[in-house]
């Protein structure tokens, strides 16, 4: 079967027998009006299918090299197939600071005693959020509610 010059063999080899279709020099999903291309296991895959396989069906390519799970292509291959893969940069994991737990707030209350605890809570969380007229246990509940609302 005669194909246009755009459909030529690539350097990539098929992992299994493939039944592919080409219409207007592009890969086609439908059989209607398309030309059938049979690629046997171990044969070279036509280059028109390589961009699609690199992006969606890497398991069809036997000799594709990987670097940490990312396909490893040369600069010429990236240019030829119009596909690039970027290596992910390692960034340190950032754990959100967990404010106070109820247990730690109760310990702070026991250490500071009620009046000083209320003053500390008012300074830390603001007069708008903490009402010193409430009991220390109610203030602890308010602090936990504030922390939960900040997470969202």
- Whether 66 and 113 map to the same domain: the answer is no
**86 assigned to some structural domain:** no
Domain limits at 23? 9-81
**59 assigned to some structural domain:** yes
**87 assigned to some structural domain:** no
pLDDT at site 6: 47
- Whether 71 and 108 map to the same domain: the answer is no
Contacts of 127 (CB under 8 A, 6+ apart): none
**142 assigned to some structural domain:** yes
- Whether 57 and 22 map to the same domain: the answer is yes
- Whether 58 and 109 map to the same domain: the answer is no
| Domain count of the fold of the chain | 2
Q: Over its length of 152 residues, how does the chain's per-residue pLDDT go in tens digits? A: 455 544 667 889 999 999 888 888 888 887 788 888 888 999 999 988 999 999 888 999 999 888 888 888 888 988 988 888 887 777 777 655 667 889 999 999 999 999 999 999 998 888 888 888 999 999 999 999 888 887 76
- Whether 61 and 112 map to the same domain: the answer is no
């Amino acid at each position: 079967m005669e194909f246009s010059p755009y459909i030529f063999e690539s350097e990539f080899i098929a992992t299994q027998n493939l039944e592919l279709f080409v219409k207007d020099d592009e890969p086609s999903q439908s059989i209607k009006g398309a030309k059938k291309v049979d690629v046997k296991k171990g044969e070279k895959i036509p280059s028109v299918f390589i961009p699609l396989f690199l992006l969606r069906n890497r398991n069809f390519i036997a000799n594709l090299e990987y670097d940490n799970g990312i396909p490893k292509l040369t600069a010429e291959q990236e240019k030829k197939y119009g596909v690039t893969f970027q290596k992910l940069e390692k960034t340190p994991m950032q754990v959100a600071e967990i404010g106070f737990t109820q247990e730690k707030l109760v310990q702070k209350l026991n250490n500071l005693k009620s009046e000083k605890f209320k003053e500390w809570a008012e300074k830390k969380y603001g007069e708008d959020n903490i009402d010193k007229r409430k009991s220390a246990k109610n203030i602890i509940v308010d602090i936990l509610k504030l922390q939960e609302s900040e997470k969202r």
